[in-house]
Amino acid sequence: MRYVQIVFRAIPRSVPCVDLSEEIDRSRTVFMKLRGLPMRLIASLLLFSVAVSPTLAEDADDSNIPERQQRLYSALEKVRPALVAVLDGRGAGSGVVVSGDGLVLTASHVVDSPRGGRRFPLQVRFSDGKGYRAEILGMDRSVDSALLRITESPKDGEEFPYVELGQSSELERGDWCFALGHPGGFRQTRPAPVRLGRVLSVGHRTVVSDCAIVLGDSGGPLFDMSGNVIGIHSMITEVIVENRHVAIDCYHRDWERLKSGERWGKLYSHDNGLSISDFVGINVRWRSFTPEVFRVQRGSPADSAGIRTGDILVSINDEPFADQLGLSNLINHLDADQRVDVVVDRNGREIHLKMKTGDRPEPDELREILKRRFRGGRELLDQRNEQLSSSRKVGPFEKRSIEELAKFEPILETTGAATVELRHRGQIKALGTVMSEDGYILTKASEIEDVSKMKCVLPDGRAVTPTSVGINNPYDLLLVKVDAQDLKPVEWVADDAEAGSIVITTDGRGTPLLPGVVSVHTRSLPTSKTGFLGVQMETLREPRNPVKITHVLPGGAALAAGVKVNDRVVSIDDRAIRNNQQMALLIRAKKPYEKIKLIVQRAGQEVTMNIALTPRYISEVGDVLLPRYSDTENLGEFASVHNSGFPEVLQHDTDLFPNQCGGPLYGISGKAIGLNIARAARIKSYALPAAAVQKVYRELLKLGESETESDDDGDDQPDEE
């Protein structure tokens, strides 16, 4: 069993967007917690409606990429106006309007108040910024569903924009879907990001997809390709394809109870271990969301019922389940000595069995059972790490399955061989984009430490040595030249790609590798206008020079200037530094490339440094939301070291790893819409738009030519005596 599938954590709400200061303050802890639940996983949703639409149009052909694209554009235009942010003064989640009179679906954990009641009025906010007061009607905490009602009339028009509900019971594994929400909270300057994926598993209460969601998406909608709501975002694990949504049929079944104001149930976010106890007596291995029995305890209820090793569990009491947590919650609702119907798939045949549950173990006994399961869990840790790596085994229904990637091959047949690999001692450090037939290549500058030690592997497999031509630091682009005359340069689109555009990244042979969708159209990042020193620090309880440098971040101004760990900050621009917050505010007030005078105490001596700040090249923690992508220890492994601060970017949802940046990002025309420049967060990769890449290329090419001419002029001068 995979550990990562047992540690679901629902976040009953999103948290306020934290505008952290310029440096990362390790003396303070910013808690992002559910209403009382620890945060290991993230995102939550709920949904309901009055009108029901067919889940899929009869003539739909989502296997055809151009048709899939048109359906996505059409659905997005229809559903965007109905998306809302759900705010209560303490945090933010998402929701979706499902009736013209203002009924809103969200997740129960977004609006379930802690003890002490609600101190702030509940509000929903539409994408145009208009806000309305709302009230909670009903909720079922056990499935994480809730229903709200807007209590004010529409400011414009006779009714609110709304969407229709689909039916999750009609979904099949592999169906295409897309997600909307407000990750990190509502942003007036950033449209709700689009995520595209496929349905991986469907249960009585839950839909699982590989549409990546994160904190703040909680309560937002999952749509089919016709624009009907099929789920509400609820939970995630660390694994990118494990995104849990409340099945829309939960709202259909409980509609009258929710609308009447009834509130019931308890939210469970972890496997309780009942299945492996004497209550049932089976161990299940999950593979691509398929539950295979790999051990049946002798004399257990499962053994007596005739369940065998190798059986695939289909349903219990006519309830299918989508994942391990779904199975755990289903079993948790059974009573001791209860007779239940169990359906298994045995060698392709459905077998119907009768099982009588055993005695329910006491909580202490369950804890011991779980401890024994994970004792010496090296294998589980290895499985978890494999699931988090770029070599993760891809399931047959994922958007990046072999069959789906093959559909991009005709699109890229004549244009896709413009990607190269930059390697050091055999390891890929970055990809590169071929800009000319005669060997000019752009790549991600911060991933290349020493060009002279790199090998450039061309699409035909030749390995050549690159030479540096020039660097553009704001865009983090490096132009290199290789000795080749027959390369195929990338073809660029003429216009910016819009949100919802399907994209594909290739490997160094031009083979389709990673699919995705443009989540947000071209925009400038606020971090590109913020000065950044590139350190982490803590405030000590000491009267003199209390601020100590704990980390010097790679690629930053501080590292280049010689700042060291354990330096004590004395002053910045002759202003004495007393704490982290003061130092951070001073730096944030500066512009990129502005100089500061930094004085530190080191080994009893004062050291003065004049430092030119950089843009903030590491994302704000409030934009990243997950420690896996924000912790400095993980920079370069899960998030790029230089992952923000770009003057303009396209945001897309491709599951890039840092060493997969630097190559072209293709649209379905076969032409590149941009150059992949960074992985920033779970749901967020950045590409530089085509026009910006070409502009920087021309500038670097001209710079290289002028330096060559200058060198040639110097060679013509006579030697001086």
How far is 172 from 353, CA to CA, in rounded Å? Answer: 25
Query: For position 6, what pLDDT does the model report?
Result: 33
Higher-pLDDT residue of 51, 135? 135
Cα separations (Å) of 37 from 182, 267, 319? Answer: 21, 10, 27
Nearest to 210 by CA among 660, 566, 683: 683
331-355: average pLDDT: 97
Q: Does position 22 have pLDDT exceeding 80, yes or no?
A: no
Query: For position 299, what pLDDT does the model report?
Result: 96
DSSP assignment of 163-176? --B--GGG--TT-E
Q: Does position 15 have pLDDT exceeding 60, yes or no?
A: no
Token pair, residue 126, equals 């539409």
Nearest to 6 by CA among 370, 439, 442, 389: 370
Query: For position 416, what pLDDT does the model report?
Result: 79
Query: For position 252, what pLDDT does the model report?
Result: 98
How far is 651 from 586, CA to CA, in rounded Å? Answer: 30
Query: For position 10, what pLDDT does the model report?
Result: 42
In a domain, 579, yes or no: yes
Nearest to 573 by CA among 555, 562, 556, 585: 585
How far is 111 from 93, CA to CA, in rounded Å? Answer: 9
Give every CB contact of residue 46 below 8 A, 6+ residues apart in sequence: 95, 105, 106, 107, 108, 110, 139, 143, 144, 145, 146, 147, 219, 232, 234, 246, 251
Token pair, residue 296, equals 């049946």
* 569, 478: one domain: no
* 242, 113: one domain: yes
Contacts 24+ apart (CB under 8 A), 120-124: 120/88, 120/89, 120/90, 121/88, 121/89, 122/86, 122/87, 122/88, 122/148, 123/86, 123/87, 123/88, 124/84, 124/85, 124/86, 124/87, 124/95, 124/97, 124/148, 124/150
Query: For position 364, what pLDDT does the model report?
Result: 87
* 48, 161: one domain: yes
Query: For position 712, what pLDDT does the model report?
Result: 59
Query: For position 415, what pLDDT does the model report?
Result: 85
Contacts 24+ apart (CB under 8 A), 556-562: 556/532, 556/614, 556/617, 557/532, 557/533, 557/611, 557/612, 557/613, 557/614, 558/533, 558/534, 558/611, 559/534, 560/611, 561/598, 561/609, 561/610, 561/611, 562/607, 562/609
574-617 per-position pLDDT tens digit: 999 999 999 999 999 999 999 999 999 999 999 999 999 999 99
Q: Does position 115 have pLDDT exceeding 60, yes or no?
A: no
87: phi then psi, degrees, rounded to nearest 5: -125, 145
Q: Does position 144 have pLDDT exceeding 70, yes or no?
A: yes
484-522 per-position pLDDT tens digit: 999 999 999 999 999 999 999 999 999 999 999 999 999
Report the SS3 class of residue 142: coil
Q: Does position 34 have pLDDT exceeding 50, yes or no?
A: no
Nearest to 144 by CA among 229, 237, 250: 250
Question: What band does 52 get if pLDDT is binned at 50, 70 and 90?
Answer: very low
Query: For position 545, what pLDDT does the model report?
Result: 84
End of a domain among 212, 241, 264?
264
DSSP assignment of 316-363? ETTB--SSHHHHHHHHHTPPTT-EEEEEEEETTEEEEEEEE--PPPPH
| Ranges 57-71, 330-344, 353-367, 402-416: which has the least confidence | 57-71
415-465 per-position pLDDT tens digit: 879 999 999 999 999 999 999 999 999 999 999 999 999 999 999 999 999
Percent of the chain with pLDDT over 70: 87
End of a domain among 238, 264, 290?
264
Do strands 24-25 and 83-87 pair parallel, antiparallel, or not at all (unpaired)? unpaired
Query: For position 714, what pLDDT does the model report?
Result: 54
- Domain span holding position 686: 408-525+642-702
Q: What per-residue string of b and e applies to 188-215 under the rule 16 or more CB within 10 Å gives b?
A: eebbbbbbbbbbbbbbbbbbbbbbbbbb
Do strands 512-523 and 672-681 pair parallel, antiparallel, or not at all (unpaired)? unpaired
* 555, 499: one domain: no
* 141, 258: one domain: yes
Higher-pLDDT residue of 46, 213? 213
* 569, 485: one domain: no
Number of domains in the chain: 4
Token pair, residue 42, equals 């993230």
* 515, 413: one domain: yes
Token pair, residue 266, equals 């308890």
Q: Which residue has the tokens 């030749």?
A: 462
**DSSP structural state of residue 157:** S
CATH code at 501? Answer: 2.40.10.120
In a domain, 228, yes or no: yes
645-663 per-position pLDDT tens digit: 999 999 999 999 999 999 9
Question: How would you classify residue 299: left for phi > 0, otherwise alpha for psi between -120 and 50, otherwise beta?
Answer: left
How distant is the alpha carbon of residue 118 from its chain centre? 30
* 450, 470: one domain: yes
Query: For position 512, what pLDDT does the model report?
Result: 97
* 648, 604: one domain: no
556-580: average pLDDT: 95
340-346: average pLDDT: 98
Token pair, residue 199, equals 């349905």
How far is 360 from 53, CA to CA, in rounded Å? Answer: 42
Q: Does position 172 have pLDDT exceeding 90, yes or no?
A: yes
Task: Give the residues across from 206 on adjacent strands.
Answer: 246
Query: For position 389, what pLDDT does the model report?
Result: 79
End of a domain among 327, 351, 375?
375
Token pair, residue 550, equals 């704990």
In a domain, 625, yes or no: no
Give every CB contact of residue 670 below 8 A, 6+ residues apart in sequence: 411, 412, 413, 414, 415, 416, 491
Q: Does position 414 have pLDDT exceeding 90, yes or no?
A: no
* 552, 510: one domain: no
Query: For position 634, what pLDDT does the model report?
Result: 81
How far is 386 from 530, CA to CA, in rounded Å? Answer: 37
Nearest to 418 by CA among 675, 659, 664, 669: 664
| Ranges 245-254, 362-371, 505-514, 658-667: which has the least confidence | 362-371
Q: Which residue has the tokens 């061989």?
A: 417
Higher-pLDDT residue of 629, 503? 503
Token pair, residue 536, equals 């982490």
How far is 212 from 577, CA to CA, in rounded Å? Answer: 41
Do strands 440-444 and 455-457 pair parallel, antiparallel, or not at all (unpaired)? unpaired
In a domain, 224, yes or no: yes
CATH code at 327? Answer: 2.30.42.10
In a domain, 403, yes or no: no
277-291: average pLDDT: 93
Percent of the chain with pLDDT over 90: 75
Query: Contact 637/658 with Cβ under 8 angstroms?
Result: yes
| Ranges 83-92, 103-112, 130-139, 315-324: which has the least confidence | 83-92
532-559: average pLDDT: 91
* 171, 54: one domain: yes
Question: How would you classify residue 623: left for phi > 0, otherwise alpha for psi between -120 and 50, otherwise beta?
Answer: alpha
In a domain, 581, yes or no: yes
In a domain, 6, yes or no: no
88-112: average pLDDT: 94
Report the SS3 class of residue 480: strand
Cα separations (Å) of 198 from 270, 432, 515, 525? Answer: 24, 29, 12, 29
How far is 168 from 721, CA to CA, in rounded Å? Answer: 86
462-474: average pLDDT: 96
* 147, 295: one domain: no
How far is 623 from 616, CA to CA, in rounded Å? Answer: 13
Token pair, residue 127, equals 């994408």
The H helix count followed by the E strand count for the chain is 15, 41
Report the SS3 class of residue 220: coil
664-689: average pLDDT: 97
Q: Does position 373 have pLDDT exceeding 80, yes or no?
A: no
Q: Does position 199 have pLDDT exceeding 70, yes or no?
A: yes
348: phi then psi, degrees, rounded to nearest 5: 90, 0
Q: Does position 116 have pLDDT exceeding 70, yes or no?
A: no
In a domain, 269, yes or no: no
Query: For position 325, what pLDDT does the model report?
Result: 94
Report the SS3 class of residue 584: helix
The overall average pLDDT reported for the chain is: 88
545-552: average pLDDT: 93
Query: For position 19, what pLDDT does the model report?
Result: 27
